[in-house]
């Protein structure tokens, strides 16, 4: 069995044992801030459960839209589609990683503050070390990828078993609905384990930054636990230097539930760390202790350059349509035109006429049509160079109509997907131009374009200035925020992803 398969099996085995846990305070030795953990764990559990439900819904919706008449053929075909397409666009890992980083950051900071205050009021918590903020980011990402891989493997195995057993469509759907990878137990076990891990990391961080702490002590929850691990009971009272590793069951970690341990030593573990204090250092002056703390921070990569925003999802950006088109045109067009070279202006003007066809054909299919490869590459370079000189200082909304559903996927499957346009993308700041009464296409797109996006309002040099065209650069990435069908037309809201 491969290492990753063993890791996933270990994780599943321990999560399967989870039941309604006692109050965390009843199973974990006391420490400063313990009373705050139940609320944090509950909030994180709800967040994880919501993400798991959304992930299950996406897969079930995809399954239901894929149904064919022949059950066996459908299941086999869907399994191929699942592995080759749906797994690749699963958004769970990214969403879970962002949420987890935020919860870990909040927990580590809050508990480090309380722990350092309890150790020595002369050396209060100010900022996390870069080593710990890096750990938060890296572990959030690694955990997210592991959980997503776990679910993908389980889904694949469930469908293979359904095919082998000759299940009907309804039976296969029920299998997917009832998978433990999507249930509340998984959310509960994850929340409890990871928030307690954050508490251990907070203690380790506090001990490193507190000059008076010279050693750390493993503290077992003792008789409070119903099924204590013998190996963890044996660790009770073990005292080692702060930077040394504890060795448990042939595994090593800096603290209880350290991610370097496997699930058998992490899930359901209620052990904690305690500080061993040097009274002589406690008696030093405040300035002397602060100097020692700064030395410790330097050793850990220095203080983090960010705090609560590290891993936090930014507030939603506010987008707006261009209400006064003439006024906006006067504001943005002339400064941009004055920056363009003759070659750039010519290339963009020709693109708005009919040169867009051979250019986009080359970008999408790598096929030439009427131009040599050298010529087409130069035109593309001039267009990109020209539109990159436009300064988009607003978060704007533009519009684009398409004749067909170019993705060949139902709208509910498109929601959440991240996509990329290989070609340049023509949109309009005038909704009426894109979706007027003569529109006969099958897709209407609302584009949300954040400030700083590489694109340009090319209307002032366009061959068709009534189109009010905003041209996006080749290779633009975007996320589908919403998509639904109404009166036979797919309506979508997408948001450009900058820095992707």
- Residue ranges of alpha helices (H) inside 409-483 are 411-414, 431-434
Using DSSP, state whether 215 is helix, strand or coil. Answer: strand
pLDDT band at 500 (very low <50, low <70, confident <90, very high): very low
Residue 104 token pair:
């870990």
Question: 259 and 126, same structural domain?
Answer: yes
Pairing type for strands 443-449 and 489-496 reads: parallel
**Is residue 313 included in any domain, yes or no?**
no
Q: Which of 361, 419, 404 is nearest to 85 (CA)?
A: 419
- Asked if 153 and 12 count as a contact pair (C-beta separation under 8 A), the reply is no
Which pLDDT belongs to residue 320?
84
pLDDT score at 31 = 77
pLDDT, greater one: 66 or 383: 383
pLDDT for position 400: 94
pLDDT for res 8: 42
The model's pLDDT over 198-227, given as tens digits with 9 standing for 90+, comes to 999 999 999 999 999 999 999 987 655 557
**Count: domains in the chain:** 2
Quick one: what percent of the chain has pLDDT higher than 90? 65
- Which pLDDT score, from 0 to 100, does residue 311 have? 35
246 and 333 co-located in one domain: no
Give pLDDT tens digits for 265-284: 888 888 999 999 999 999 99
Q: How far apart are CA 355 and CA 271, in angstroms?
A: 68
pLDDT of residue 328: 93
First vs last C-alpha separation in the chain:
35
Q: Are residues 338 and 292 in the same domain?
A: no
CA–CA distances in Å: residue 16 to residues 93, 173, 206, 241: 21, 21, 33, 35
* Same domain for 277 and 331: no
pTM for this predicted structure: 0.59
pLDDT digits (tens, 9 = 90+) for 348-375: 999 999 899 999 999 999 999 889 999 9
The confidence score (pLDDT) of residue 250 equals 86
What is the pLDDT, as a whole number, of residue 12? 47
**Distances 335 to 330, 386, 389, 390, 456 between C-alpha atoms, Å:** 9, 12, 10, 8, 12
CATH number at 427 reads 3.90.176.10
Q: How many other C-beta atoms lie within 10 A of the C-beta of residue 244?
A: 12
The pLDDT tens digits for 317-350 are: 578 889 899 999 999 999 999 999 999 999 999 9
Distance CA 362, CA 346 (A): 19
Question: pLDDT band at residue 393, thresholds of 50, 70 and 90?
Answer: very high
Residues 136 and 25 in one domain: yes
pLDDT band at 297 (very low <50, low <70, confident <90, very high): confident
**17 or 359, greater pLDDT:** 359
Per the prediction, the chain carries an average pLDDT of 87
Does 312 map to a domain? no
Determine contact, residues 281/295, Cβ cutoff 8 Å: no
| β-pair partners for 239 | 217
Contact in structure between 14 and 264 (CB atoms under 8 Å): yes
> Which of residues 434 and 87 earns the better pLDDT score?
87
Decide: helix, strand or coil at residue 432. Answer: helix
Q: What is the pLDDT of residue 26?
A: 57
DSSP states along 228-252: --HHHHHHTT-EEETTSPEEETTEE
For residues 97-116, give the mean pLDDT.
Answer: 94
Considering the domain architecture, whether residues 212 and 282 belong to the same structural domain is answered as yes
pLDDT band at 3 (very low <50, low <70, confident <90, very high): very low
Q: Is the residue at 225 inside a domain?
A: yes
Give the residue numbers spanning the domain of 356.
320-496
Instruction: Judge whether 385 lies within some domain.
Output: yes
Do both 81 and 188 map to the same domain? yes
| pLDDT tier, 126 (very low <50, low <70, confident <90, very high otherwise) | confident
User: Residue 120 — φ and ψ, nearest 5°?
Assistant: -160, 110
Q: Are residues 365 and 266 located together in one domain of the fold?
A: no
Q: Residue 162's closest CA among 153, 152, 173, 151?
A: 173
Let me know whether 240 and 341 are in one domain: no
In this structure, how many other beta carbons lie within 10 angstroms of the beta carbon of residue 124?
Answer: 12
Give the per-residue pLDDT at 362. Answer: 95
Looking at the fold, whether 276 and 338 belong to one and the same domain comes out as: no
The confidence score (pLDDT) of residue 221 equals: 75
Helix (H, G, I), strand (E, B), or coil: what is residue 481? Answer: strand
Q: Are residues 94 and 203 in the same domain?
A: yes
Nearest CA-CA partner of 270 in 305, 242, 232: 232
SS3 state at 101 = helix
Q: Is residue 304 assigned to a domain?
A: no
CA angle 24, 232, 266 (to 5 degrees): 60
């Amino acid at each position: 069995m491969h290492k990753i398969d063993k890791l996933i099996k270990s994780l599943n085995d321990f999560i399967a044992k989870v039941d309604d846990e006692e109050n965390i305070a009843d199973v974990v030795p006391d420490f400063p801030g313990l009373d705050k953990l139940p609320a944090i764990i509950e909030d994180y559990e709800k967040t994880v459960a919501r993400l798991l439900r959304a992930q299950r819904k996406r897969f079930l919706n995809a399954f239901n839209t894929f149904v064919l008449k022949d059950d066996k053929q459908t299941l086999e075909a869907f399994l191929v589609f699942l592995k080759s397409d749906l797994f690749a666009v699963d958004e769970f890992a990214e969403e879970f990683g962002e949420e987890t980083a935020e919860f870990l950051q909040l927990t580590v900071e809050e508990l480090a503050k309380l722990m350092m205050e309890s150790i020595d009021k002369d050396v209060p918590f100010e900022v996390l070390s870069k080593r710990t903020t890096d750990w938060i980011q890296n572990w959030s990402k690694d955990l997210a990828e592991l959980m997503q891989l776990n679910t993908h493997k389980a889904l694949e195995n469930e469908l293979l078993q359904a095919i082998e057993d000759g299940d009907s469509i309804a039976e296969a759907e029920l299998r997917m609905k009832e998978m433990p990878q999507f249930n509340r137990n998984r959310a509960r076990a994850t929340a409890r384990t990871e928030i307690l891990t954050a508490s251990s990391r907070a203690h380790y961080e506090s001990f490193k930054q507190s000059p008076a702490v010279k050693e750390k002590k493993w503290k077992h929850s003792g008789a409070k636990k119903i099924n204590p691990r013998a190996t963890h009971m044996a660790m009770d009272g073990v005292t080692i230097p702060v930077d040394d590793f504890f060795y448990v069951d042939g595994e090593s970690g800096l603290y209880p539930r350290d991610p370097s341990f496997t699930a058998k030593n992490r899930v359901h573990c209620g052990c904690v760390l305690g500080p061993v204090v040097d009274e002589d250092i406690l008696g030093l002056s405040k300035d002397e202790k602060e100097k020692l703390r700064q030395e410790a921070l330097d050793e850990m990569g220095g203080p983090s350059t960010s705090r609560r925003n590290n891993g936090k999802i930014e507030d939603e950006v506010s987008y707006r349509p261009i209400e006064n088109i003439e006024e906006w045109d006067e504001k943005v067009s002339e400064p941009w035109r004055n920056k363009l070279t003759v070659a750039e202006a010519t290339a963009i003007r020709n693109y708005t006429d009919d040169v867009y066809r051979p250019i986009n054909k080359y970008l999408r299919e790598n096929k030439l049509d009427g131009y040599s490869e050298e010529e087409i590459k130069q035109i593309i370079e001039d267009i990109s160079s020209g539109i990159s000189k436009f300064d988009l200082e607003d978060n704007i909304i533009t519009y684009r109509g398409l004749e067909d559903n170019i993705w060949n996927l139902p709208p509910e499957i498109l929601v959440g997907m991240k996509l990329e346009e290989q070609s340049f993308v023509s949109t309009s700041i005038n909704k009426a131009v894109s979706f007027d009464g003569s529109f006969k296409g099958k897709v209407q797109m609302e584009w949300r374009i954040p400030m700083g996006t590489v694109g340009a309002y090319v209307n002032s040099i366009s061959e068709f200035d009534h189109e009010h065209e905003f041209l996006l650069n080749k290779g633009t990435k975007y996320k589908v925020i919403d998509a639904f069908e109404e009166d036979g037309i797919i309506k979508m809201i997408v948001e450009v992803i900058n820095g992707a």
